[in-house]
Amino acid sequence: MSERESQLVLGIDPDPGALWPVGAEAADAPSPRGRAAQAVLAHCRALIDASAEACVAVKLQLARFEVLGTSGWSVLADVAEHARGRGLLVIADAKRGDIDVSAGAYASALLGGVDTPFGHLDGLGADLVTVNPLMGADAVEPFVRAARASGAGVLVLVRTSNPGAADFEDLELAAPPARVWERIAVLVDELGREGRGDSGLSDVGAVVGATLPEHLVRARELMGSATFLLPGVGAQGGRVEDLAPAFAPGPAGGLVTASRSIADAHRKSDAGPAGAARAEAERLRAAAWELSRRV
């Protein structure tokens, strides 16, 4: 982060119906699935090439790759590899959560792989993976163990950026801390204690939406050493200027993620897709970095 003076995460969320022209140009396979896979891959590579300099990581929305069926995982792995080649960390935005053995299998798939009687199965090699904690600590712990074994980290959904987040995450509890998401935050803090590095930050972070800045202060109180992944800037209405509490432990305390606002920047610009994406990424990078230095 300090090398690149950036906390910006390029969210990669390729809608097959809204790809850059470079996508359609690359699509010549005989099957719809083959063409869609080619187009998504070309789009993602171009998006990364345009924005990489301003970013520290990509966040890959796994749903957009799963919809490619049998081609999905190879496109996902290719995009991850392309991002690594540009010096970017890879965040697998998987939001998986399941009972212990299943959580372990997901963690193997997304992180360092697994040894089997048939040999080692490589994982995606992600640096961070998002996890859904609804099913409890035993659904999260296998990810933390697997992440520690491979030098990676976990980002637990705590208070998400969507309107529906209020339905269950914000429910008021009979005993303090007062809300469901605050109780999840306590678990994040506990799980992260054994994974605190010299930076003061731990390997168990939290997804905290940028759309409701008032939650950030409280989230930071409850999770003093967690890195926050901050979705919701741009298309969902969040503003970089409101994210100061995320940076209380230092400039690495917050990862600002933007997807549509970068990929779709050309719709509000005279520049082409790549130029507009680069400019918007640089604008967000500079805003977040300046803010984090003032906190």
**Which 205-244 positions form the footprint of a copy of itself (CB under 8 A)?**
none
Q: What DSSP element (H or E) covers 257?
A: strand 254-258
Binding mask 91-110 for a copy of itself (x = CB under 8 A): ----xxxxxxxxx-xx-xxx
Q: Please identify, using beta-carbon distances, which residue of 3 and 70 lies nearer to a copy of itself.
A: 70
Residue 287 neighbours by CB distance under 10 Å: 18
Our CB check for a copy of itself shows the closer of 102 and 269 to be 102
Q: Write the single-letter amino acid at 131.
A: V
Cross-strand partners of 9: 57, 257
- Among residues 2, 25, 63, 197, the one that binds a copy of itself under rule CB under 8 A: 63
Whether 199 and 250 have beta carbons less than 8 Å apart is answered as yes
Q: Pull the structure tokens for residue 229.
A: 């992944």
Q: Judged by CB, which is closer to a copy of itself: 36, or 208?
A: 36
150 three-class SS: coil
Catalytic residue among 4, 95, 145, 196: 95
Examine residue 278 and tell whether it contacts a copy of itself (CB under 8 A).
no
The contacts of residue 207 (CB under 8 Å, 6+ apart) are 130, 155, 156, 157, 158, 159, 160, 228, 229, 231
Q: Which is nearer to a copy of itself, 162 or 199 (CB)?
A: 162
Q: Cβ of residue 20: shortest distance to a copy of itself, in angstroms? A: 12
Which residue lies nearer to a copy of itself by CB, 108 or 227? 108
From candidates 3, 174, 214, 294, binder to a copy of itself by CB under 8 A: 174
Among 52, 54, 79, 184, binds a copy of itself (CB under 8 A): 184
CB of 112 to a copy of itself, least distance (A): 11
Note if 95 is an active site residue: yes
Q: Which residue is associated with the tokens 């998987």?
A: 94
Footprint of a copy of itself on 112-131 (CB under 8 A)? 114, 116-124
Span 15-34, contacts to a copy of itself by CB under 8 A? 15-17, 24, 27, 31-33
Contact indicator for 178, 171 with CB cutoff of 8 Å: no
Task: Catalogue the active-site residues.
Answer: 95
